[in-house]
C-alpha cells in the first residue's frame, strides 16, 4: 500500500479504507453492516478531494463513538485546505471492525404490539394434575437486512416473567417462582463474541437480575447468529421450593426465518400427590400492549426490545420490529 507519511493520497489508498469502513458502516454482510449510506469510491487515478477525505474521517469517528472504541483524534479537512496523510487510519478501522457489535447506548424499550402475553384464566388439570402454559412471542423485522442492522448495531430483545394473582394455595408458590428468572436478553452475538451494550456485557443469551431456583440451562453463547430453524432451549429454571421442586420455566429460541425470531416460554407444573396439595393457579389481568413492564396480575411472560441508538450518529436503518404475543 502506498499510504505513508509524506506521500500522496492515491485513489487506491482511499478506496481501500472506504471499503473497509463500508463493510461495517454500509450494507455489509451477515454480522457486519449497520445499513448506513456507504462512502463512495474515487475513480481509478482520480483526485481524492477534501470532501471525500472528510466523509471517511467523520464516518470513522462516528463508528468509534458507536462502538466505544478509542480512535486517533483527527480533524476532517475542509474544502480549500491541503489534504495531508493522517496516521493510524488502518489501525483504527481494524479496532472498530473488531468491536463492531458494541454500542455505547440503546434506544428506548418497546413493548409488544398485539395479542395477549398473559394467561388471564385459571389454570388447572384436576386438583393435583400436571399443566403447562405456553407463551409465544414472534419478533418480526421489516426485512432480512434490517434484522441484521438491528442486531449488528446493538439491538436487544428482553423477556420478563411474573405473576401476582391470588386465590389458591399454590398461587403464592408460583408468584415467588415466576419472580426468580429476572430478565433474559437475546442479542446478536456479533463477531461470535460478547457485545458491550450501554456498558453491560451480553453474551448472546444473558440472564440479568433475579435470584433463586436452580438454573439447569443457560446457553450463553447462542444469539441471533447462532440460532437455526430448529428451536434451541436457551434457558431452564427449576423451582427449589418443596414440594414443588419439579416446576420449571423453559424458554426456547428459533430463527424462524431471516426476518423472524420466535421465543417460546413454557411454565410447567407437574402433578403432585401429597395430602391436601393442589396445583391449580389463578388467572388475573393482562399486561397491556406497549407496556415494557409487567403490570397485570396473571401468569405472564413479557417480550420487549431495545432498538439500537441513534445518539452517536447512526440513522435508523433497522425500521420498526413488531412483537406479537400469544398464550395457551
Along the 328 residues of the chain, how does pLDDT read in single tens digits?
Answer: 455 554 567 888 889 999 999 999 999 999 999 999 999 999 988 888 888 889 999 999 999 999 999 999 877 777 766 666 677 899 999 999 999 999 999 999 999 999 999 999 999 998 889 999 999 999 999 999 999 999 999 999 999 999 999 999 999 999 999 999 999 999 999 999 999 999 999 999 999 999 889 999 999 999 999 999 999 999 999 998 877 889 999 999 999 999 999 999 999 999 987 777 889 999 999 999 999 999 999 999 999 999 999 999 999 999 999 999 999 9
* In a shared domain, residues 29 and 61: yes
Is 83 contained in some domain?
yes
Closest CA to 150 of 320, 291, 302: 320
Instruction: Specify the long-range contacts of residues 91-94, CB closer than 8 Å, at least 24 apart.
Output: 92/60, 92/64, 93/17, 93/20, 93/21, 93/60
For residue 108, being part of any structural domain is answered with no
Whole-number Å distance between alpha carbons of 150 and 270: 39
- Tell me, yes or no, whether 125 and 90 share the same domain: no
What's the CA gap between 241 and 27, in Å, rounded? 50
pLDDT of residue 272: 86
Among residues 98, 131, 163, which one ends one of the domains? 98
Per-residue pLDDT at 112:
97
**Residue 6 included in any domain:** no
Would 138 be classed as within a structural domain?
Answer: yes
Question: Domain ends where: 66, 98, 130?
Answer: 98
Beta-bridge partner residues of 17? none
The residue whose grid cell reads 468509534 is 64
213, 68: one domain: no
**Together in a domain, 140 and 242:** yes
**Does some domain include residue 2?**
no
- Of residues 41, 109, 32, 29, the one with CA closest to residue 63: 32
Same domain, 217 and 242: yes
Q: Which of 68, 98, 128 is the last residue of a domain?
A: 98
φ and ψ at 57, to 5 degrees?
Answer: -65, -45
CB 99 within 8 Å of CB 311: no
Give the separation between CA 298 and CA 281, rounded to whole angstroms: 10
Q: Please check whether residue 244 lies inside any domain of the structure.
A: yes
Q: Give the global pTM.
A: 0.94
Task: Count the domains in the chain.
Answer: 2
Q: What are phi and psi of 156, to 5 degrees?
A: -135, 145
**Are 303 and 323 spatial neighbours (Cβ–Cβ below 8 Å)?**
yes
The pLDDT value recorded for residue 74 is 78
Same domain, yes or no: 147 and 246: yes
- The parent domain of residue 89 ranges over 11-98
Same domain, 176 and 283: yes
Q: Are residues 90 and 132 in the same domain?
A: no
Query: Does 125 lie in the same domain as 87?
Result: no
pLDDT of 80: 66
Amino acid at each position: 500500500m502506498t499510504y505513508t507519511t509524506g506521500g500522496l493520497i492515491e485513489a487506491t489508498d482511499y478506496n481501500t479504507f472506504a471499503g473497509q469502513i463500508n463493510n461495517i458502516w454500509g450494507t455489509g454482510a451477515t454480522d457486519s453492516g449497520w445499513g448506513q449510506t456507504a462512502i463512495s469510491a474515487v475513480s481509478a487515478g482520480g483526485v481524492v478531494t477534501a470532501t471525500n477525505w472528510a466523509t471517511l474521517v467523520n464516518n470513522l469517528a462516528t463508528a468509534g463513538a458507536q462502538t466505544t472504541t478509542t480512535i486517533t483524534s483527527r480533524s476532517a479537512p475542509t474544502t480549500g485546505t491541503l489534504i495531508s496523510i493522517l496516521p493510524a487510519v488502518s489501525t483504527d478501522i481494524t479496532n472498530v471492525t473488531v468491536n463492531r457489535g458494541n454500542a455505547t447506548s440503546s434506544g428506548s424499550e418497546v413493548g409488544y404490539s398485539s395479542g395477549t402475553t398473559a394467561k388471564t384464566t385459571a389454570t388447572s388439570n384436576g386438583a393435583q394434575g400436571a399443566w403447562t402454559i405456553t407463551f409465544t412471542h414472534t419478533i418480526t423485522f421489516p426485512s432480512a437486512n434490517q434484522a441484521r442492522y438491528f442486531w449488528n448495531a446493538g439491538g436487544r430483545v428482553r423477556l420478563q416473567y411474573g405473576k401476582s394473582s391470588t386465590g389458591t394455595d399454590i398461587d403464592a408458590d408460583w408468584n415467588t417462582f415466576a419472580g426468580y428468572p429476572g430478565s433474559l436478553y437475546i442479542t446478536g452475538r456479533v463477531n461470535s463474541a460478547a457485545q458491550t451494550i450501554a456498558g453491560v456485557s451480553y453474551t448472546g443469551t444473558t440472564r440479568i437480575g433475579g435470584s433463586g431456583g436452580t438454573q439447569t440451562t443457560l446457553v450463553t453463547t447462542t444469539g441471533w447468529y447462532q440460532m437455526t430453524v430448529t428451536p434451541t432451549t436457551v434457558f431452564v429454571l427449576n423451582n427449589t421450593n418443596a414440594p414443588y421442586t419439579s416446576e420449571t420455566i423453559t424458554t426456547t429460541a428459533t430463527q424462524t426465518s431471516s426476518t423472524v425470531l420466535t421465543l417460546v416460554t413454557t411454565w410447567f407444573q407437574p402433578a403432585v400427590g401429597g395430602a391436601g396439595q393442589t396445583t391449580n393457579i389463578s388467572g388475573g389481568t393482562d399486561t397491556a400492549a406497549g407496556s415494557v413492564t409487567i403490570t397485570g396480575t396473571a401468569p405472564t411472560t413479557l417480550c420487549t426490545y431495545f432498538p439500537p441508538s441513534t445518539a452517536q450518529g447512526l440513522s435508523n436503518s433497522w425500521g420498526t420490529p413488531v412483537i406479537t404475543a400469544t398464550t395457551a
